[in-house]
Amino acid sequence: MQRRSLLTVLSSAPLWSLPVRAHHGWSGFDQDRPLYLAGRATQVAWRNPHVELMLDLPERLSLPADLKQRTLPRQSAAVDSAALLAKVQVPTRRDRRWEVELAPLTRMQAWAVDEIKPGTEVAVIGFTAPAEQGEAVLRAEYLFIGDKVYGLRSSPV
């Protein structure tokens, strides 16, 4: 029996060295500094723990003139959309490609978000690491596709 256990442990040893990307909550993101991104989805992974897409930004990204007046959908989590919109800014970093973390599949289904395909124009408001350190990753709070807006932190009210 010991030999079988040893073989099991040794056969799984190569897996220990593989990089593992941990799933994380909102705590690692600077929620006091919402960012706006808009561009074309180039790669989309429609899976759990959350939908991810690569977003290619235009050379000069700017806030839409009507952004602060937009009506955002209510979510079951306490999110003050008016205060959030008042603070939104474009990133200071100049990356043209960002990884955007959307919601889990069940929440995307609750909001009735159609599966996003590469080439789709999308905009998001969300959060990145404090001081925009590390990789160009944004955790989306709101998703804009065409004239539709989705809240992603929680289910619709």
Residue 102 burial (C-beta neighbours within 10 Å; 0-12, 13-18, 19+): buried
Cα-based angle 116, 119, 121 (whole degrees, multiple of 5) = 75
Give the residue extent of every domain in the chain.
Answer: 27-151
What predicted TM-score, i.e. pTM, was given to this entire model? 0.81
Residue-wise pLDDT tens digits, 72-128: 999 988 888 889 999 999 999 999 999 999 999 999 999 999 999 999 999 999 999
Whether the per-residue pLDDT at 8 is higher than 50: the answer is no
Give the architecture-level CATH label for domain 27-151. Answer: Beta Barrel (2.40)
